[in-house]
Copies of this chain bind each other. A is one copy, B any other.
Amino acid sequence: MDDPLARFFNARGVALVGASAQPTKLSYGVLQNLIRSGYPGPIYPVHPRGGEILGLPVYRSLAEVPDPVELAILMVPAEQSLEVLEACGRRGIRAVILVASGFAERGDEGREREEQLRAVARRYGMRFIGPNAVGLIDTRIPLNTTFIHVQPEPGSIGLVSHSGAVCGGILDWGASMGIGFSRVISLGNQADVDLADALCSLALDPSTRVVGAYVEGIRDGRRFLEAASAVSARKPLVILKAGRTPDGARAVASHTGALALPERIFQAVARYTGAILVDHLEAFMDAMLALAMQPALPGARVVILTNAGGPGAVGADHLARYELRLADLQPSTQERLQAVAPRGTMVGNPVDLLGGPQPEHYARALHTLLEAPEVDAVMTIFVPQAVTPAREVAAAIGEVAAGSPRPVVGVIFGGETALEAARVLHQASVPGFPTPCRAAFALGVLHQWAKIRQGRCEPLEPARPLNPSKAVSQLLEARRQGKRVLDPQAGAELAAAWGLPVPPSGLAATPEEAVALAERLGYPVALKRIAPGLIHKSRAGGVALNLKGAHEVRDAFIQLIHPEEQALIQRMAPPGVEVIIGAYRDPLFGPVVMFGAGGVEVEALEDVTFRLPPLTRMEARVMLEETWIGRRLLQRDRKGGSEEIEALTDILKRVGQMMLEHPEIAEIDLNPVIVARPGEGVHAVDVRIVLSETVPAPAEAAALV
């Protein structure tokens, strides 16, 4: 994998087209930032009026700009963008940043204009960022093409954003908190360079330790999946996605012209890629801060070291939300704490140093805790008091925490002195938070990151069909017959070939055949009318259930089956809890597997969860945990029923694998899947398989099996 943005970051010489001499203009700000950042190459302002800005000669046109010039920043109105982009191409510039707005976010005309930009870029082999973008920062080169009014310090956070303002706000926050950045990439409308390019670039950047992505829209789902996975295989990826609600989607559309991504699908996407999905701006910043400065937290046992009981109690409350807990301190650790802490210290957990601890008390207690084997992480809390200066406490904590393999996070609860003390913590790479609530969240993120890395080690063990050739022949036959939906018996046979637990069944054309079949399958049986267009059989009244003998089968056949039609005879499954398992192809992200509660009433409650296949056994089990109905079944599992849980997770894995191996399948719908009483199994009594309208040739499909 090569850095797709290398030509931007490695450019020897930058031209700024549309440079203004007026300090209130944004282009003036860009020139100022380029100079102040310390960019080592030549900088060429370009403006038809010529002259000089900030001590640099202004070129009248791109053609006049001398070598080397490898990157151009276009600060011209939308209407002139095309022409200037063309000029860049002619000048041999292969990397361009377009700042102007007035494109896709303004509707069809703007989208057309973006298409034209792409055409020009293709012609010259150029890549461009934007339009509607604020540009790039790399603190190592250093290079800053933005007009953002703060110059970030070097650090290890790599930020990519569809919103320039989100970059600006976060850089501002970083500057005030003493938090540095490696690279910042503002994508704007991503008409060419997109989120996937930026993620690849940050994945490969050695200075970037954590990647934060503010996401409004995704252009190419598969590329995004690959890029995001590439990041989280190397380093943590934190995503804040806007447009999660109808109102948010409306706001996003008018901002960068992006289409809405269904929220629950995006959760599945995050899960698949190993990204940490957060849901507000504080969480976004806190997660990046924690991951940039501290190691992953595989364990769950936390100690709170505090000078104040109330904030300690609040912190303890918040640990449980993130699957963390207070460590039980061993007597030997408590004794060691007694020896180093002020008289009266409560050496349970929270460890409360009470009113007046000095910096060295924090240092010694923290040191003791970080050496205790029963402790996985420490949250220090300090509420500023008159007698002990906060910054000295912060410095003492930072010194002890430095280099500890166990995470330490700091809380300084208060106002401006707290802010100053947080900066001291950050110098020592201890993330500082204003409240124990946010520090607990940060520890939770470190814990989540450890679990994501663990999950990557889970064996995938792809599900295999029991009878691959049978599966392929069913699909070929349906295709040959020009079907869009497999006949129920064909669907059941395909499912059975893939090892799904479908009750035995067959087709009968006459009452006699029906009875003979029923006798062979064993009573009781269900009889279902097979007729084209009859999809919701039970609603259309074409089903007779629980037929207990020849007489009943014959009667049902005569009553329900019209001339020339056939009946599906199926052995009755035992009664039980109904769930739905399904799969479909998301236009952006490809196959998606779904699990949820069954039954008409429950559908409306949307007790469902989604995943992108392939699924590990563990991941399939987590799907159960995420639904009410699944938790209900897992609960039952404790009293027996683990066989049924195994069967459900197995079906989820198999359905996912079917979607991956048979691109001609558009949709699989197992509705209902009956989870019978413990020991009585799981039964996919109704299988509906829809084929794609545009399918690969059967030969291609066959080759995949």
Contact = CB atoms under 8 A, between A and B. Distances in A.
Interface of A: 24, 26, 29, 101-102, 105, 147-150, 161-166, 168-169, 172-177, 214, 216, 240, 242-248, 250-252, 254-256, 280-282, 304, 307-320, 325-326, 344, 346, 348-350, 352, 354-356, 383-387, 413-419, 434-438, 601-602, 604-605, 607, 628, 631-632, 635-636
Contact of A632 (B282, B383, B605): B605
Given A247-B316, A251-B315, A281-B314, 15 more contacts: A26-B355, A101-B355, A102-B344, A163-B308, A165-B310, A169-B311, A172-B416, A176-B419, A242-B310, A242-B314, A247-B319, A251-B317, A280-B314, A281-B311, A605-B635
Contact of A163 (B147, B161, B310, B325): B310
B251 A417 contact: no
Given A384-B172, A437-B280, A161 B248 contact: no
Contacts of A214: 310
A317 B254 contact: no
A187 B632 CA distance: 44
Contacts of A147: 385-386
Nearest to A240: B314
Contact of A436 (B101, B174, B256, B281): B281
A316 B605 contact: no
Contacts of A414: 168-169, 172-173, 176
Q: Which of A29, A150, A162, A255 has the most CB of B within 10 A?
A: A255
B601 A628 contact: no
Contacts of A415: 150, 172-177
A607 B402 CA distance: 45
Contact of A251 (B175, B243, B245, B326): B326
Given A166-B311, A242-B310, A350-B251, A635 B604 contact: yes
Nearest to A385: B149
A313 B165 contact: no
Contact of A169 (B162, B304, B317, B413): B413
Nearest to A163: B310
Contacts of A243: 313, 317
Contacts of A318: 280
A148 to B, nearest CB: 8
A609 to B, nearest CB: 15
Contact of A280 (B150, B164, B354, B435): B435
The count of identical subunits is: 2
B254 A165 contact: no
Nearest to A241: B317
Contacts of A169: 308, 311, 383-384, 413-414
A176 to B, nearest CB: 3
A216 B605 contact: no
B251 A282 contact: no
B309 A256 contact: yes
A102 B354 CA distance: 11
Q: Which of A246, A255, A317, A605 has the most CB of B within 10 A?
A: A317
A305 to B, nearest CB: 12
21 contacts: A26-B386, A29-B386, A149-B386, A161-B310, A165-B383, A169-B414, A172-B416, A172-B418, A173-B415, A174-B415, A176-B414, A176-B415, A177-B415, A247-B317, A250-B326, A250-B349, A251-B309, A251-B313, A282-B438, A601-B636, A628-B628
A487 B311 CA distance: 51
Contacts of A240: 314
B165 A437 contact: no
Contacts of A605: 628, 631-632, 635
Contacts of A386: 26, 29, 147-149
Contact of A248 (B24, B316, B344, B348): B316
Contact of A168 (B148, B350, B383): B383
